[in-house]
Chains A and B, each alone.
Chain A
């Protein structure tokens, strides 16, 4: 059975990828639209949306919820994904490039984030000796398995940079968050948008493409 939206989605993903890779100021909004698209076909609640926040610092924007990075995205399962990604546009040898300088994705039960489940962070100033890119899990382990006085939630598991696509796959495939589009559609779209992030010749996708 044909999937009428898939070619349109894939075409739009390619357009947006080309736009942000060009490094022009419009690339910021291409990033935002791409994030909005992949969230909207998967786990984002109908009333949610991603937005860029802008302040006095030039060439710097933050991707987050509707009211900024402190406003988590509502998901279709009535839980939340807190998204905070800082983009900077800067000069490189070939012209300009938009790059991510910090990012954080936190899956949480409540809007305030007191009851969080896991989070991936990529931060510039982590406390020594924690890795800049890490995963934290708000779970439990027998105290005898952990250092004295340290809970599992305070263990920072080192990771590589993690994509938004990987977080979405994790939530759908392993936390059973429902999706807005069929599996064949969203898997293909996520593969199309994640591949440039990873540099397809060197790293594998975070899940199947279809």
Chain B
């Protein structure tokens, strides 16, 4: 059984890295901006949020008063 894991166990992402990933993926997968994606999700208006549950998790790493949520 292979079990070696030599890299650090925590991946640290800056705000900009998170926002860039969210914006890119929201446009490709949902055809919308990251602001629109987050606004719809938080309003319970995203048709199938499980489809992008990985992006929702990524957004959870931003502080609650992040400008992105305010814009959303």
Query: A: which residues have CB within 8 A of B?
Result: 29, 32-33, 36, 40-41, 46-47, 49, 51-58, 60-62, 64, 66-70, 82, 84-86, 101-102, 104, 106, 119, 121, 123, 125-128, 134, 136, 154, 156, 180-181
Cβ contacts under 8 Å, A66 to chain B: 7, 11
Q: Do B58 and A57 touch (CB < 8 A)?
A: no
Q: Is the CB of A127 within 8 A of B7?
A: no
For the A-B complex, the count of residue pairs with Cβ-Cβ distances under 8 Å equals 133
Count of chain B residues near A, Cβ 8 A: 38
Q: Are A62 and B49 closer than 8 Å at their CB atoms?
A: no
**Residue of A whose beta carbon sits closest to that of B50:** A121
Bound: A86/B60 CA distance, A: 7
3 smallest A-B Cβ distances: which pairs?
A55-B61, A104-B53, A46-B2
Secondary structure at the B interface, as helix, strand, loop or mixed, is loop
Which B residues touch A121, using CB under 8 A? Answer: 49-50, 53
On whether A61 and B10 interact (CB within 8 A), knowing A55-B62, A102-B57, the answer reads yes
